[in-house]
Structure formats: C-alpha cells, structure tokens
C-alpha cells in the first residue's frame, strides 16, 4: 500500500534517526576511550609499495601484529560496548519497521471500516501499483517492457492485504474486487495479454524461455580483470603483464589490451569510453546469470536483481540506463589476451583471444511470459573463461549482496569493492586486513565543492560501509571489524575474518 506520511509521522522518523545517531556516536566515543585505536600510519611513511614491495609487506605484517595485539587487550567493558552498538543497530531497524507498519494501519483505519470506501481505495491502489511496477520495469527506451499478469496479481494481493482481509467479510464486494483486478490486468497497456499474437507485439520475440535466479555470485579475481576495470588496459597498445609467482626467477608474460574503436558513430554512450568499477558489477552479474543461473537471455532487470542480491528488486529508469550503458561498453569493447606463456607454465590449455569483452546481441524475447528487450550471450564471457582456467574465481552466497541499504550506483560499486577486498583477504594470509578509507574515496571518486561538504560525503560513505559490514557480520561472511583513528581522523577499517 502506498503510504502518505503525516507531518507527525515524518517527525517521528526524524526523531528515530536523531536518537540513534546520538547513541551510536556515544558508543563509538566510549570504545575509543576504553581502548584507543593504535596509529599505524607511520609504518608506511616513505614506502612506495610498487617500488619496494618487500618493505611494504613488512609494514603490513607489523600493522597486523599491532592491531591483533590491540584487539586482544580490549577489556570486557570495551567488547560489551562494541556488542551494544550492534544491538542498537538491530533496534534501530526494528523501530523504523514498526513505525511504517503503524502508518500503514493508520492510513487504512482512516477508511473507517466502510467497505465501500475500502473497495474504492483498493481499486485506486491497484491502478497505481500497476503503473508504478511498469515504471520500475521500463528500461528507459521507446520499447515497452510489459509486465507479467500473474506476478502483478500476486503483488497486488501482498500490498493490499489489509483491504483484502476486510473485503473477505463481504463476499459480494470481495468478488467485485477480484473481478476488478482481473479486468485491470487484462485491459492494462502495461501488461502483456495472454495469448498475444506476435504480429500484435511491437518487436517479435526471438525466444520463449524461463529464467533462473542464481544461488552464488561469481567474480573473476585475476590480474587482467582487476586492471581492465581500473582503466589500466585501455588503449591500442598491447601491455605486458608479469604473471610469475613471487620469488620466481623465470619471467612469465601475458599480453593484454582493451580499446573502444567499435563504439563508432552508430553506437553511443553518455559516459566515459573506459571500463569503470560499476561496469565490473554489471559484467560479473552477467557472468553469474550465465554460468551459475544458466541463463542465455538476460535483461537489465535480472542484472539489477543479481547486483543487489534481491530477486524481488525492481529497476528504476536511471539504473536501467546505467546498466544498459555498461552492457553497450562490454559488447563493443575489444579485448586482446595472449596467455600462451601462462598456459605453458601453469598447465592449462593455450589461451588466446581477440574479440568483444561480452560476446552477445540485443534481442527481444518472451521471458517468463513477459516480452522484454534483453542481451543474448553467444559464448561464455571471456574473462570468466580465462580466470577459471587459473582457479581465480571468487564465489559466495548471493544473499550477501542483499544488504539493508538503498542500492544506488555508488553503493553497488562500494559493495563490490568491499567484497573483492575481503575475498582477497580470505585467499591470502599475507594480505593486510585493513582497508584505507582514502582508497575507497578514490574508488568512488568522492568530491565536493567545499571542505565541509567533502567531510560530510566521506562520513556518509563510512556510515554506508558500516551498514554493509554489519550485515556481513550477521551473515558470518566476516567475524567483525573495527575503525581506526589517527588523532581525530577516522582513516581505515580493519576486517576480522
């Protein structure tokens, strides 16, 4: 049900935010007072990790020792304060949910039990819900992405449960409501009619298939993938990448490059002609849908549901446009990989590739009874194929992406950066468990017009990180985490695995 919050309810929501904000801050100050976070920044002063990898590794090892000792000496009172923070977070989410439920009940009660009014409101809500669902599904193009009637009917029943429960007491009105819903679905221009003839559809479907939601998220973690989406392979020149293991005397070189010459005048993108961290999330969602889900036909809606870890997530036009643009870049970027030396050295089949990052075509298909524009994959995505030969594929339960936070492009990028760092930590005992916030800010390209605005943006990013990490702790992806300060500046977060 669509809720129109009263001024009082808006004030209550604001009061909850302010109350918990003060409590969170008090606990954070208490934990810092009881067991001040050690300063480890001095360990890295004057060291360039690229030029002096051994010194950098030694500094990381020393930092981990200091942080482990700091964690170990924490008093019971300190640990209790940290646990209290997590309890507060659960209470905060519960209190907000209860307020929303009360607002929903309040709005329904305003109908005063008048079944005629309840029926009329249910009808109005039905029409609005169909339209809002269509807006979510619409991919922002001139083509219509029509809704599945049975799915819409289930969502109407869930959203209007209070109305339906009341109407059940009057069989005649309940029957009228159900007939109205069936008729609204049948007549709606936003819903695909049953038995629709191909000649009556704007674009003729090329396939009729069912789609499958994957159980695990798959992410290539190899060097080529990391460089590709950090814009370090873009350009016409082939780059030589060192692939020998640390300490090896024999050089092993893989050749790779990416260019966008295929983005000619007939194919336009609004953003940068380079692969970004957000493009990586779209790319890996496509891999996940194809490999783990077995889907040959993939829509932006499906990609968004995978990136968010929520099979019921709905796509707004802005996100649809961003995903569509990422798909275009993946389809029209030319990737060259020559891993012949690697294959010979590490015992996998010779690997050479010159083609699109994602080999596919845009088609119209009927997916689960709904006519949609989608991407049809013509072969396994090459970066997955290459990384899989080297056993460098990160895998984890897809529900970990369903963190309780609004999934904007920035949040999807942030969450992707965090889980890749944590996967790397889990796969290497020598890798630092500390993530510098400056690195995160750079990844997200956090900027502002003034120092004050920049501080607020950075504080917001740190708050978002903590919400994600809290959820991952709850789901046992990590054991915990702690933020580190240098003076009054919060500069990093250390992950406990």
**Per-domain residue ranges for the chain?**
111-194, 216-402, 403-497
Pairwise CA distance, residues 99 & 8, whole Å: 11
Segment 333-353 mean pLDDT: 87
Structure confidence at residue 26 (pLDDT): 84
63-99 pLDDT, tens digit per residue, is 778 877 877 888 888 888 877 876 876 676 678 778 8
Pairwise CA distance, residues 424 & 478, whole Å: 13
Contact 253, 242 (CB under 8 A): yes
Strands of 352-356's sheet in order across: 239-242, 253-259, 334-338, 352-356
The dihedrals phi and psi of 338, each to the nearest 5 degrees, come to -125, 100
Distances (CA, A) of 207 to 48, 198, 299, 372, 482: 54, 12, 13, 10, 50
Residues, the chain: 497
Q: Give me the residue label for tokens 């329904």.
A: 108
Strand partners, 367: 209, 370
140-156 pLDDT, tens digit per residue, is 444 456 777 777 888 78
Structure confidence at residue 225 (pLDDT): 93
Q: Which two tokens stand for residue 33?
A: 């007072």
Contact 400, 464 (CB under 8 A): no
Per DSSP bridges, beta strands 208-209 and 360-367 are parallel
Contact 44, 58 (CB under 8 A): no
Q: Which two tokens stand for residue 101?
A: 């439920």
DSSP string, 229-291: TTTSSBSSS-EEEE-PPTT-SS--EEEEEEE-TT--TTS--SS-SS--HHHHHHHHHHHHHHH
Q: Give me the residue label for tokens 């003729």.
A: 204
Q: Give the chain's end-to-end CA distance (angstroms, integer).
A: 41
Nearest to 155 by CA among 121, 132, 188: 132
Contact 293, 211 (CB under 8 A): yes
Look at the alpha carbons of 228, 233, 239, 244 in this order and tell me if their dihedral is positive or negative.
negative
What is the residue-averaged pLDDT of the chain?
Answer: 82
Structure confidence at residue 315 (pLDDT): 81
Contact 209, 367 (CB under 8 A): yes
Segment 474-495 mean pLDDT: 90
Residue 490, classed as helix, strand or coil, is strand
Determine the topology of domain 403-497 in CATH. Ribosomal Protein S8; Chain: A, domain 1 (3.30.1370)
Contact 128, 67 (CB under 8 A): no
Structure confidence at residue 285 (pLDDT): 96
Lowest mean pLDDT among 308-322, 325-339, 378-392: 308-322
Q: Which residues contact 261 (CB under 8 A, 6 or more apart)?
A: 236, 334
Alpha helix (H) residue ranges in 110-141? 115-137
Q: What is the CA radius of gyration of the chain?
A: 26
pLDDT of 422 strictly over 70: yes
pLDDT of 245 strictly over 70: yes
Q: How far is CA 143 from the centre of its chain?
A: 26
Q: Give me the residue label for tokens 């590794």.
A: 57
Q: Which residues contact 307 (CB under 8 A, 6 or more apart)?
A: 281, 282, 285, 401, 407, 412
458-477 pLDDT, tens digit per residue, is 999 999 999 999 999 999 99
At residue 274 the predicted structure's pLDDT band, cuts being 50, 70 and 90, is confident
Residue 202, classed as helix, strand or coil, is coil
Q: Which two tokens stand for residue 145?
A: 């992405």
DSSP string, 286-354: HHHHHHTS--SEE-HHHHHHHHHT-TT----HHHHHHHHHHHHHHHH-EEEEE-HHHHHHHT----EEE
Half-sphere exposure for 73 (CA within 13 Å, toward CB): 11
Buried b (16+ CB within 10 A) or exposed e, 7-20: eebeebbeebeeeb
Question: Which percentage of the chain shows pLDDT scores above 90?
Answer: 27
Burial of 399 (C-beta count, 10 Å sphere; 0-12/13-18/19+): middle
Structure confidence at residue 495 (pLDDT): 93
Q: How far is CA 234 from the centre of its chain?
A: 25
Burial of 74 (C-beta count, 10 Å sphere; 0-12/13-18/19+): middle
Higher pLDDT: 1 or 137? It is 1
Contact 328, 278 (CB under 8 A): no
Pairwise CA distance, residues 32 & 417, whole Å: 27
Residue 37, classed as helix, strand or coil, is coil
Question: Which percentage of the chain shows pLDDT scores above 70?
Answer: 86
């Amino acid at each position: 049900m669509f809720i129109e919050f009263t001024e009082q309810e808006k004030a209550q929501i604001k009061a909850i935010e302010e109350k918990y904000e003060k409590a969170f801050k008090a606990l954070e100050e208490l934990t810092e007072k009881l067991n001040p976070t050690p300063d480890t920044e001095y360990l890295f002063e004057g060291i360039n990790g690229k030029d002096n990898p051994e010194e950098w590794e030694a500094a990381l090892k020393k930092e981990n020792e200091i942080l482990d000792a700091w964690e170990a000496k924490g008093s019971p009172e300190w640990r209790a304060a940290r646990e209290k923070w997590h309890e507060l977070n659960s209470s905060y989410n519960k209190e907000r949910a209860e307020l929303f439920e009360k607002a929903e009940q309040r709005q329904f009660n305003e109908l005063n039990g008048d079944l005629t009014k309840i029926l009329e409101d249910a009808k109005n809500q039905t029409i609005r819900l169909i339209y809002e669902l269509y807006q979510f599904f619409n991919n922002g193009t001139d083509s219509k992405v029509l809704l599945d009637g049975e799915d819409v009917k289930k969502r109407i029943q869930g959203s209007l449960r209070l109305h339906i429960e009341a109407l059940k007491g009057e069989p005649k009105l309940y029957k009228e409501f159900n007939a109205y819903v069936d008729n609204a679905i049948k007549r709606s221009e936003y819903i695909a009619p049953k038995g629709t003839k191909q000649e009556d559809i704007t674009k003729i479907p090329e396939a009729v298939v069912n789609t499958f939601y994957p159980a695990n998220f798959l992410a290539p973690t190899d060097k080529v993938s990391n460089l590709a989406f950090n814009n370090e392979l873009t350009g016409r020149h082939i780059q030589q990448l060192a692939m020998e293991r640390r300490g090896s005397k024999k050089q092993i070189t893989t050749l790779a490059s990416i260019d966008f010459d295929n983005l000619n005048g007939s194919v336009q993108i609004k953003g940068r002609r380079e692969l970004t961290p957000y493009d990586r999330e779209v790319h890996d969602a496509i891999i996940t849908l194809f490999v783990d889900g077995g889907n040959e036909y993939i829509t932006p809606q499906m990609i968004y549901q995978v990136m968010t870890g929520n099979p019921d997530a709905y796509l707004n036009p802005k996100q649809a446009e961003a995903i569509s643009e990422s798909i275009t870049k993946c389809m029209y970027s030319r990737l060259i990989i020559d891993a012949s030396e690697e294959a010979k050295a590490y015992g996998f089949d010779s690997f050479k590739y010159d083609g699109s990052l994602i080999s596919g075509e845009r088609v119209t298909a009927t997916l689960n009874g709904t006519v949609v524009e989608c991407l049809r994959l013509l072969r396994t995505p090459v970066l997955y194929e290459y990384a899989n030969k080297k056993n460098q594929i990160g895998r984890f339960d897809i529900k970990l992406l369903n963190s309780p936070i609004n999934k904007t492009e920035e949040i999807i990028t942030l969450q992707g950066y965090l889980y890749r760092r944590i996967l790397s930590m889990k796969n290497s005992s020598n890798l630092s468990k500390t993530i510098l916030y400056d690195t995160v800010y750079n990844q997200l390209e956090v900027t502002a017009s003034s120092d004050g605005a920049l501080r607020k943006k950075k504080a917001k990013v740190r708050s978002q990180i903590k919400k994600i990490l809290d959820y991952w702790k709850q789901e046992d992806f990590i054991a915990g985490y702690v933020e580190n300060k240098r003076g009054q500046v919060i500069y990093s977060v250390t992950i406990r695995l």
